[in-house]
Amino acid sequence: DAASTRALVEQLHAAHAPAQQLAATVALRKVLSIEHRPPIDRVLGLGVLPTLVALLDRHDNTRLQFEAAWAVTNIASGTATQTRAVVEAGAVPKFVALLRSRDADVQDQCVWALGNIAGDCAALRDRCLHAGAMPAVIALFDEHASDALLRNATWTLSNLCRGKPAPALDVVRMALPLLRALVEHHDEAVVIDALWALSYITDDSSDDNARIDAVARQTGLVSHCVALLAHSNAKLVTPALRTVGNVVTGAEHPTQLVIDAGPWAALRDALASRKKAHRKEATWALSNIFAGSAEQIGAALHAGMMHDVVRALNDDTHDVRKEAMWAVANAAQGGDAAQTRTWATPAVFAGLFKWMASKPDAKTCEVALEAVYNIMEAGDEQRSHSHTPGNMYARHVEALPDALDLLFELQDHKSERVYEKAQAIVERWFYDDDDDDESDTDDD
């Protein structure tokens, strides 16, 4: 009721009565710890947040610090507005400072609070980073830290690396040597969050791929991430797949590190996984490898990965088929004609035309047509070398039900690039001069 609430607030402010102040803080913490719909707004309405934050400075009473930190953490784990209220109350620098506390419980609670705040959004993540959270969190990883503290600290570390726009490279770079060690930690929960941190860092669309290169320069880090693709824990494989997939979006050197580590068996297992997310991530990773150099394309082909990609292109879900289509298109564009002839089977054409028949977006329809065009050109080169009549791949297309009808239909596509590419294929390989001759005869 109102009277007991007023009494609780008065006790919280009773600095002259430490026992009462502690009891009030514990009471608020318990209220805020209710599992379902804790009354955070109601507590904030009491105006007690500034006092709770101020209690974080009570270095003479670590129990009071701990309870206050717990209460503030519960507020920070609420809505975005509630989390921001904690930040605006000045809690972040105090939490960072308390990571150096001699009390392990206080450290654990404060690193958990910072993880909640950093995970809310990029702006609040940056508030944590500007307060020095990254080096302070890294400093927690010593031989005296408990596994529980290391789990929370690694989760917070991953949130400090997360979000768009990405944190400054100089900030995340200082975490890389630690992350290199953590991916070999005995605690799987630590390894999982370390891998998520690496996946966030390597999510790099910059022109110079500086973040991917920074990860690649950590000796043995990429190869160990590849090794973890074969782990029995699916929750660990997921961020490992994401990290490896990100790395192969980079330049030739990081991609080669992945290839040299021998990812093929693990990627094949992922492509056969019951988890669609794993199949999609593995196919996406292969599509990026097939976007590499001719030598890298050759390594994937030698490992037989195109067979698995083509199966996915024909038989998997829409999302996975889309990545498989990109893989085929990349191989057709970047590989040489001799390589293309090793994998351009009727099943490849069946998958590409199945994709185009599903009425995809204009961009991926154009990419599939480009793949068909490039494969057909490889067929022309084969014809010129072997002096055989016709293009063998044209026969594959003609044997597919409705394939030619689809090509003619795509010449009326609303996308200019789609209809131009469809028209180029038809006119180069499927245009029948006899039809024109017959028309001319009829006109006469």
pLDDT tens by residue, 392-411? 899 999 999 999 999 999 99
Quickly state the pLDDT bin for 387 (edges 50, 70, 90).
Answer: low
Gap between the Cα atoms of 136 and 153, Å rounded: 10
Query: Which of these, 400, 387, 398, 386, lies nearest to 429 by C-alpha position?
Result: 398
Cβ atoms within 10 A of the Cβ of 250, count?
A: 24
Query: Which of residues 431 and 92 earns the better pLDDT score?
Result: 92
Q: Are 270 and 309 within 8 A, CB to CB?
A: no
Helices (H), 202-275: 210-216, 221-227, 234-247, 252-260, 264-271
pLDDT, tens digit (0-9, with 9 covering 90-100), for 272-325: 999 999 999 999 999 999 999 999 999 999 999 999 999 999 999 999 999 999
**pLDDT at position 441:** 43
Q: Are 76 and 91 within 8 A, CB to CB?
A: yes
Percent of the chain at pLDDT > 70 equals: 95
**pLDDT at position 390:** 80
pLDDT, tens digit (0-9, with 9 covering 90-100), for 420-436: 999 999 999 998 655 44
Cα 108 to chain centroid, rounded? 27
Gap between the Cα atoms of 75 and 42, Å rounded: 11
**Statement: residue 384 has pLDDT above 50:** yes
Gap between the Cα atoms of 237 and 232, Å rounded: 8
∠ CA(78), CA(84), CA(86), 5° rounding? 80
Quickly state the pLDDT bin for 3 (edges 50, 70, 90).
Answer: low
Gap between the Cα atoms of 378 and 372, Å rounded: 10
